[in-house]
Amino acid sequence: MQFQSQKSRMTRFIKGYGKKFLNAFILLILIVIGFLGFWFALRMTLNTECPLLPVSSGNMCIVQPQCDGLSHPFEPILHVGDLIIVQGVDARSVEVAYPESDVIVFHMPKLNSYQKDELIITRVVAKEERDGIVYFRTKSDGEGIHIWPEIPDISECDRWYDYRENHTLNDMISEKLLVGKVILRIPWVGHIALFMHKSSGIFIIIVFMVILVVVGFSIPAFSSEKVEVKQGEDGEKIAET
């Protein structure tokens, strides 16, 4: 009799556990679908391939020599750990009235076909149109002798070169590499994305999620088992009386 009772409890436990696992799996799928839907909607709305980006470099920060992104988050510049919102724009509409010129995001020019694709965030200093193609002269706010908002010399500006035709011109980058301009920054939030980008960060987050799932399933299971045991003991006491 006791064996059958234990077997019955085990069967109910497995059924309940399986149902909860299935519900959690469906919820996870819905979250992933919702996130992907939000991402593609954001790309279409802002007209750019990369609408959200974390700032990983301190080149745009004028608080030197080291930008930690934590001690001065509300300075009117970009810091390490900021999350920026990028909007795709026509190259001819990019503002060049320094120091109020636009901060743009673009693909780093490549020296060869094997170079890894990277995104660069920097400020426009000037632009020039040649043969129907707009080229931008750029400079990071925190680099050089004259840091933003001081007017820089041309010798302090970035020097870009790309092996492909019409991608750079006289140290300037072409609109062919333009991703968009920065329209908003959110302090600190980018640190989460930067942490997740690291292999150790991904591992820690996966372990944390597994722990949450295990705890979420275990607590109700143990609670129900205790209730069943108590009910069995109460039933035995009534039978004895």
pLDDT score for 166 = 92
pLDDT score for 226 = 47
**Residues 192, 198, 200, 206, Cα dihedral to 10°:** 60
Crossing angle between the packed helical segments 199-240 and 190-197, to the nearest 10 degrees: 90
Question: When comparing pLDDT for 36 and 97, which is higher?
Answer: 97
Q: Do 162 and 65 fall into the same domain?
A: yes
Q: Helix, strand or coil for residue 31? A: helix
pLDDT in tens, 161-199: 999 999 999 999 999 999 999 999 988 888 777 777 665
217 belongs to a structural domain: yes
Predicted model pTM: 0.73
Q: Give residue 7's domain range.
A: 2-46+213-231
Question: When comparing pLDDT for 14 and 95, which is higher?
Answer: 95
Q: Do 188 and 77 fall into the same domain?
A: yes
Question: When comparing pLDDT for 88 and 6, which is higher?
Answer: 88
The domain total for the chain is 2
Is the separation of the CB atoms in 80 and 109 below 8 Å?
A: no
12 belongs to a structural domain: yes
CB contact set of 183 (below 8 Å; sequence gap of 6+):
85, 86, 87
pLDDT in tens, 38-60: 889 989 999 998 898 888 888 88
236 belongs to a structural domain: no
Res. 219: pLDDT tops 60? no
